[in-house]
Amino acid sequence: MNTGITIALSKGRILQEAIPLFAGAGIELAEDPDESRKLIIPSTDPQVRFLVIRASDVPTYVTWGAADVGIAGKDVLLEQEGLDLYEPLDLRIGLCRMSVAEPAALAATDAPQRWERVRIATKYPHITRDYFHGRGVQTEIIKLYGSMELAPLVGLADRIVDLVSSGRTLRENGLVEVEEIMPISSRLVVNRAAMKLKRRAIEQLITQLEAQVSHEPS
Ligand code: PRP
């Protein structure tokens, strides 16, 4: 039986913040995936390897068992419906928030509590629909795959729902945050069958990573 652990994660900020957590757990990546084109990266632990994939593909690899474990943002996990994953640990990396934003000129006179119908561009149509439905606001949702901040500037939508970290992208495009929908962080997710078949190794990994998680207030 294959007893090794395959871990799926995405390039960029999540990867760069995850590397020190794994290092603290005694697992070093054999090379920096941000510098390499390899999609499978071995580690210094012969029992652990990494798959470097698109953030939104991480739940798919873990659900199907192609990876035993993954790191995925709460945004990605909430947006994809029908996932059946074990989510044992908030890694407190990739910290940001999901917010509604709009042009500063609109915000000057806007009153969110009086919204009845909004036209929103977003990569997160399910989260957006659920959020506004909960507020009793009708939505027209325009699904985009990135650079949502452009949509209100060219009349594609009035507002956007997107992740905000430093706020720089909103600022540089003349948008302001008008409502926070939820805080976001990256989570460790585990395939349910792997959790049974490789319990000892995966529990050890969870415990080691948990010891590395920062509990500093964000
Ligand atoms: C994310 C998000 C915003 C930006 C926010 O985009 O969609 O555009 O970061 O960060 P800031 O508040 O620090 O400016 P990302 O760069 O991940 O690319 P994406 O458009 O492909 O999601």
SS3 17: helix
Question: Whole-angstrom Cα distance, residue 29 to residue 31?
Answer: 5
Question: Whole-angstrom Cα distance, residue 112 to residue 83?
Answer: 32
Nearest atom within ligand 1 for CA of residue 12: 17
**Domain extent listing, the chain:** 5-94+185-215, 96-183
Tokens of 43: 């580690």
pLDDT by residue (tens digit) across 59-117?
999 999 999 999 999 999 999 988 999 999 999 999 999 999 999 999 999 999 999 99
pLDDT by residue (tens digit) across 6-64?
999 999 999 999 999 999 999 999 998 888 899 999 999 999 999 999 999 999 999 99
Q: What is the DSSP letter of 156?
A: S
Domains 5-94+185-215 and 96-183 share a fold: yes
CATH (residue range 96-183): 3.40.190.10
Question: Whole-angstrom Cα distance, residue 92 to residue 18?
Answer: 10
Question: Whole-angstrom Cα distance, residue 32 to residue 22?
Answer: 13
Type of residue at 141 = I
SS3 195: helix
pTM of the predicted model over 0.90: yes
ipTM over the 0.90 cut-off: yes
Using most ligand atoms within 8 A of CB, pick from 164, 172, 176, 186 the residue to mutate for ligand 1: 164
163 close to ligand 1 (CB < 6 Angstrom): yes
Distance 169 CA to ligand 1 centre (A): 7
Say if domain 5-94+185-215 classifies as CATH 3.30.450.20: no
> What length does the chain have?
218
